Amino acid sequence: MRDVFHEQLDAVFDDLAEICRRVESSVHRATESLLGGDAALAEQVISDDIEIDRARERVEDNAFSLLSLQAPVAGDLRVVVAALRMVSELERMGDLSVHVAKIARLRVPAIAVPDEIRPTVQRMAEIAEDMVTRASQIILSRDVRAAIELGRDDEIMDQLRRTSFAQLLSDDWAHGVEAAVDIALLGRYYERIADHAVSIAHRVVFVVTGENPRSVAATEAAAEAGA
């Protein structure tokens, strides 16, 4: 029984990693449509989101049948529930890239992001996409150290958001209210994508160690300090 359970559980995590790669592509293309003012690409991101939703349903069905048929307890139970939570977060990340694509579409043939703030937005998008890429690797590798590392990158995103606000609110800002509102919302969407990636990484730490990431990081730091 045990082996069937763990095989099926591995299959669930493989599916999660696969969905995470879809989300990565969605974030990537949404950014491309945003920075290139590409309406067709934006449409594609919006219509492709249904595939992420469908993949989520499949993972949920598999996780439920695992719970029903194998009735795992303790640690195993928490792992399956963690998988269910991870898939909800992945779906949200897909929705957030749809929001980015919708801002792109709304401004075509113009480009929502003025040249002057483009490097900041591009950097936010890159960080978000990179965090999603690493989250999918972490789901597959169950690499606790990489997962804790990912959590630390959240700070860079915070900083970029502060930079973007400073630019929007400076006296030099010559692009008016509409562009400023777009940038503020885009920043929020990329920040939330990054938050979810961190949360997924933290759930992997929990899945592997049975502990929450903060205590694992503290133990590691203490070990390093003692070494």
Q: How far is CA 194 from CA 85, 156, 200, 201, 220, in A?
A: 16, 10, 10, 11, 24
d(CA 126, CA 110): 22
Residue 221 CA, distance from chain mean position: 26
d(CA 103, CA 189): 11
Contact 120, 189 (CB under 8 A): no
CB of 169 or CB of 221, closer to its own copies: 169
Is the Cα dihedral 204, 210, 215, 217 positive or negative? negative
Q: How far is the CB of 223 from its own copies (least distance, A)?
A: 27
Q: How far is the CB of 121 from its own copies (least distance, A)?
A: 15
Say whether 114 sits in a helix, a strand or coil.
coil
CB of 21 or CB of 78, closer to its own copies: 78
Q: How far is the CB of 225 from its own copies (least distance, A)?
A: 29
d(CA 147, CA 199): 9
CB of 1 or CB of 74, closer to its own copies: 74
Sites of contact with its own copies (CB under 8 A): 64, 67-68, 71, 73-74, 77-78, 81, 84-85, 88, 165, 168-169, 173, 176-178, 180-181, 184-185, 188
Q: How far is the CB of 156 from its own copies (least distance, A)?
A: 20
Q: How far is the CB of 73 from its own copies (least distance, A)?
A: 5
CB of 38 or CB of 182, closer to its own copies: 182
CB of 74 or CB of 225, closer to its own copies: 74
